[in-house]
Amino acid sequence: MQVLRHPIAYRLRSILFGGRARHGVVPSAVLYAVLFAIGFVYLYPLLYMFITSLKSPADLLNPMVQWVPTEFYTGNYVKAFRVLDYPRTLAASALVSVIPSILQTFVASLVGYGLARYRFWGKSLILLLILATFIIPPQNTVIPQMLTYRRLGLLGNPLSLILPALLGQGYRSAIFILIFYQTFLSLPRGLEEAARLDGASDLRIFFTIAVPAAIPAYIVSFIFSTVWYWNETFLTVIFLEGGVTTLPMQLSKFVQAYENLYPPGVVNIFDRLNEAVKMSGTFLNILPLLVMYFILQKWFVESVERTGITGE
């Protein structure tokens, strides 16, 4: 114990374990170790996917090759690119996620603004119903919609996703309405009231004052909406099957599409479907989202902390 009271030992102790003024080295090291461990586990499926996608057929069969492929093999990607019909499905995915997202974001902001700024009878009922639309599982409403679309000849047409978005019933619309509701509640009303006294109409006030003030909420909503529409497959398969094929839809019938292009009886054994090709297809599927995420990550993470998505 005598040693610990020595000034140098004391300094050392404060550097290692932290004191009043600083985090110590040891707690920090532990923190980083834990975070790196969790981060690795978290990214494990992605790493596995990426590494496997680069393995040549020989590497796949070789039990010695686990994490480092013996060669940089891109053949899987060439095949997956063809099987996914990449340019066409990519364009389709972009189309059916971006257009509904724009409409959904805009309509959600209108509704959120109406709820945040005006007093009217039945407002709490509407808020309750908005929450209900978030809870109701899609399979409880999808069949009549599908039958109606079939009667109207809209099955397979992107309109079948666009129409609900246009009327505020798009995929997870409730979340976006609540984001805008929160955003507009937290914005000061002063400027809007001044404009109203000057005789501006309500729509004009909305477009010239409220919309510019809520730009971050628009960006966050649009990005999330695009991502969720992109990844949504339950409704897209039912509504678009036979018309438009998106990337995730093509991925879910990857085996079938592969065997159409490379019939198993005809091609040689190295061109048979293997997990490396499947993983290449999966990676190509998420690649556009990864690119988007790394470009826009500031908007994904930081503004969510600020826009008050918690909705208390």
- Segment 49-88, which members bind other proteins (CB under 8 A)? 49, 52
Stretch that binds other proteins, among 1-9, 80-88, 260-268, 293-301 (CB under 8 A): 293-301
Closest-CA residue to 74 (of 266, 285, 283, 293): 283
What is the C-alpha to C-alpha distance for residues 173 and 104, in angstroms, rounded to an integer? 7
Cβ closer to other proteins: 72 or 120? 120
Who contacts 74 (Cβ-Cβ below 8 Å, separation ≥6)?
54
Stretch that binds other proteins, among 56-64, 83-91, 259-267, 287-295 (CB under 8 A): 287-295
What is the C-alpha to C-alpha distance for residues 173 and 137, in angstroms, rounded to an integer? 13
CB of 14 to other proteins, least distance (A): 17
Cβ closer to other proteins: 56 or 184? 184
Q: What's phi and psi for 209, nearest 5 deg? A: -115, -50
Stretch that binds other proteins, among 8-16, 66-74, 77-85, 158-166 (CB under 8 A): 158-166
Token couple for 8: 């140098």
CB of 312 to other proteins, least distance (A): 5
Cβ closer to other proteins: 243 or 308? 308
What angle, 0 to 180 degrees and rounded to 10, lies between the N-to-C axes of helices 215-231 and 86-117?
Answer: 140
From candidates 167, 185, 194, 267, binder to other proteins by CB under 8 A: 167
Burial 261-292 (b: 16+ CB within 10 A, else e): ebeeeeeeeebebbebbbbbbbbbbbeebeee
CB of 121 to other proteins, least distance (A): 7
Q: How many CB atoms lie within 10 A of CB 226?
A: 23
Footprint (CB under 8 A) of other proteins, residues 265-284: 275, 278-279, 281-282
The reply on whether position 197 binds other proteins by CB under 8 A is: no
The reply on whether position 157 binds other proteins by CB under 8 A is: no
Token couple for 183: 């955003």
Who contacts 297 (Cβ-Cβ below 8 Å, separation ≥6)?
none
Cβ closer to other proteins: 59 or 232? 232
Stretch that binds other proteins, among 9-17, 57-65, 187-195, 298-306 (CB under 8 A): 298-306
Q: How many CB atoms lie within 10 A of CB 36?
A: 10
CB of 165 to other proteins, least distance (A): 9
What is the C-alpha to C-alpha distance for residues 198 and 274, in angstroms, rounded to an integer? 69
CB of 241 to other proteins, least distance (A): 11
Who contacts 269 (Cβ-Cβ below 8 Å, separation ≥6)?
57
CB of 134 to other proteins, least distance (A): 7
What is the C-alpha to C-alpha distance for residues 82 and 79, in angstroms, rounded to an integer? 5
CB of 73 to other proteins, least distance (A): 18
Footprint (CB under 8 A) of other proteins, residues 227-246: 227, 230-234
Stretch that binds other proteins, among 57-65, 77-85, 139-147, 260-268 (CB under 8 A): 139-147
The reply on whether position 194 binds other proteins by CB under 8 A is: no
The reply on whether position 213 binds other proteins by CB under 8 A is: no
CB of 128 to other proteins, least distance (A): 11
Stretch that binds other proteins, among 76-84, 134-142, 187-195, 260-268 (CB under 8 A): 134-142
What is the C-alpha to C-alpha distance for residues 186 and 52, in angstroms, rounded to an integer? 48
3-state SS class at 92? helix
